[in-house]
């Protein structure tokens, strides 16, 4: 079990751009750790619907009330500084952090972490390594830049 001490002060996490591959994965991990997770995205998608199905409140558009109730706002690099939720977080002095920096904090919660980097093949390599751990019944937390049907079939629900 990971040690969430590094991030446990953030009981309520709001995520702007939650429908993205990386953001949705982070949201799932946080939900699994029993954090209260809310988020927003510009468009509805299968990913957004899957988050909702698994108990994460997602707003298509903006939700300033969820921002106001959060301890931290995590945003994707695509979010502009004038985004209404970013403006509200700044106005309320709520901590904001870019997705990559938050992922770094989250990674420190785990005793053992494997990170794949490079120019080409990161998703494929990550997927193959992930499947090895899933097949070995090691219950990995996986952050990969794609939706993987083989993993999704094995991990039907985060609950």
pLDDT digits (tens, 9 = 90+) for 42-56: 999 999 999 999 999
Confidence of residue 143 (pLDDT cuts 50, 70, 90): confident
Tell me: pLDDT of 146 over 90. no
DSSP one-letter string for 105-140: HHHTTSSS-----SSS-HHHHHHHHHHHHHHTT---
List of domains in the chain: 4-107 (3.40.50.720), 122-154 (no CATH)
Across 109-139, b (16+ Cβ under 10 Å) vs e yields beeeeeebeeeeeeeeebbeebbeebeeeee
Cα–Cα dist 69/57, whole Å: 13
Q: Are strands 36-41 and 57-60 parallel, antiparallel or unpaired?
A: parallel
pLDDT score for 158: 45
Q: How far apart are the first and last CA of the chain?
A: 15
Phi-psi region of 139 (alpha: psi -120 to 50; beta: other; left: phi over 0): left
Stated pTM of the model: 0.83
At residue 5 the predicted structure's pLDDT band, cuts being 50, 70 and 90, is confident
């Amino acid at each position: 079990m990971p040690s969430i001490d590094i991030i446990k002060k953030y009981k309520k996490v709001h995520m702007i751009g939650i429908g993205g591959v990386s953001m949705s994965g982070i949201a799932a991990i946080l939900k699994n750790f029993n954090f209260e997770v809310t988020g927003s995205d510009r468009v509805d998608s299968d990913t957004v619907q899957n988050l909702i199905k698994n108990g994460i409140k997602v707003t298509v558009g903006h939700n300033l009330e969820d921002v106001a109730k959060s301890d931290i706002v995590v945003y994707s690099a695509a979010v502009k500084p004038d985004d209404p939720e970013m403006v509200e977080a700044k106005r309320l002095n709520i901590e904001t952090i870019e997705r990559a920096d938050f992922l770094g904090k989250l990674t420190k919660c785990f005793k053992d972490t494997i990170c794949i980097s490079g120019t080409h093949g990161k998703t494929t390599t990550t997927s193959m390594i992930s499947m090895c751990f899933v097949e070995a019944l090691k219950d990995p937390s996986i952050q990969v830049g794609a939706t993987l049907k083989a993993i999704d079939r094995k991990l039907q629900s985060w609950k």
